[in-house]
Structure 1
Amino acid sequence: MTETVSGLELRTAVGSFPSGVTVVTTHSEGMDIGLTVSAFASLSLEPAMVVVCIESKSKSLPHLAVGREIGISVLASDQLELAVQFARHVEDRFEGVEIERRGKIGVPFIKGAVAWFLGIVDSWFEGGDHTIITARVIGCDSDVHMSALSYFRGKLS
């Protein structure tokens, strides 16, 4: 039998590692889809790839299918309210949000973000209660003069 820690123990310890806060987006079935994700990282430089991890029960997950264009907006330190808005379970998370569209399908990106990545979903992997999504990056940019929003010990700052 393998020993393990509780979810609370893991959350507390992992929460001591600060992470950035992103909004992952796509355009699917005539609507904009977006959700707040802090589990984001670079995966590979050659080829350029990133990874995001999304709760497997998320209603947004089926819209992030292999082959689909997705966007990742790294939120700026003054965009805390957007992180909260895209984490809520509401019908239109984009209400009142300024966006810019990129890619062939018009993927929405959060205006004023520190950085953005346009990617194509490459693969899905099961990871416990989350789905690990890898994406090939086909476009990106950043503003080196801005500070990113961070998530540390359960708090956004």
Structure 2
Amino acid sequence: MTFDSRAYRNALGCFATGIAVVTTIAPDGEKIGVTVNSFSSVSLEPPLVQFCLGRAAMSFEAFTTAPSFAVNILAEDQAELSARFSRRDLQERWEGLGVERWDTGVPILTGCLANLECDREHLYDGGDHVIIVGRVRRLKGSESGQPLLYFRGGYQKLA
């Protein structure tokens, strides 16, 4: 490798991404959520999506063993929500939040641009991350609003 990890991260930061909070339920019933920007569609038929989660994440075991998860795609006015689910305190994240429960019972955050409830289909090795693929079983999307974006290490909005 002829570059250091900081140069690698800086180069990847030039790719603007949306931000989502992925949620699930731990085996003990605890609500779990984490902010991700490594989310994308995989397939239209069947409807598959994927996100990547670091192996060192406190929520790693919950997401790799839970049968279902939800992807909550954030709107431009939800930067605080993104930051909240980036913190290490797991319980404080949920205080005062609007949450719905759909078919699988995983927490669905209200007020997002879109929500996708998924059944976990596959786990793939991704180096220091795992790639989690899910089949979308239910969704809701907004006809208006703008996404919260992440670019060069900070939150951005569409002009």
Task: Report how far residue 67 of structure 1 moved.
Answer: 6.2
Match in the other structure for 2:133: 134
Superposed CA deviations along residues 26-57 of structure 1, whole A, max 9, x for unmatched, are 12221100000110000011111001001111
Match in the other structure for 2:18: 20
Match in the other structure for 1:100: 100
Q: State the distance in 2 between where 1:91 and 1:51 align.
A: 23
Q: State the distance in 2 between where 1:54 and 1:65 align.
A: 9
The answer to whether the 8 Å contact 2:32/2:62 transfers is yes
Matches for 1:141-156 after TM superposition, within 5 Å:
141-156=140-155
The answer to whether the 8 Å contact 2:116/2:138 transfers is yes
Letter in 1 for 2:96: G
Matched pairs, number: 154
Task: Report how far residue 101 of structure 1 moved.
Answer: 1.4
Name segments (4+ residues, structure 1) moved above 2 Å: 3-6
Please tell me the root mean square deviation across aligned C-alpha atoms, in Å.
1.3
Q: State the distance in 1 between where 2:119 and 2:3 align.
A: 35
Percentage of identical aligned residues: 36
Matches for 1:44-63 after TM superposition, within 5 Å:
44-63=43-62
Q: State the distance in 1 between where 2:2 and 2:121 align.
A: 31
- Consecutive unaligned residues of structure 1, counting only runs of 5 or more, are none
The answer to whether the 8 Å contact 1:20/1:74 transfers is yes
Q: State the distance in 2 between where 1:6 and 1:49 align.
A: 34
Once the two structures are overlaid, the 10-residue window that deviates more, 7-16 or 47-56, is 7-16
Task: Report how far residue 125 of structure 1 moved.
Answer: 1.3
TM-score using structure 2 length: 0.91
Task: Report how far residue 65 of structure 1 moved.
Answer: 2.9
Q: State the distance in 2 between where 1:67 and 1:99 align.
A: 19
The answer to whether the 8 Å contact 1:41/1:51 transfers is yes
The answer to whether the 8 Å contact 1:77/1:148 transfers is yes
Match in the other structure for 1:11: 9
Task: Report how far residue 62 of structure 1 moved.
Answer: 1.0
Q: State the distance in 2 between where 1:21 and 1:59 align.
A: 19
- Consecutive unaligned residues of structure 2, counting only runs of 5 or more, are none
The answer to whether the 8 Å contact 1:69/1:103 transfers is no
Task: Report how far residue 18 of structure 1 moved.
Answer: 0.6
Match in the other structure for 1:36: 35
Q: State the distance in 1 between where 2:90 and 2:63 align.
A: 18
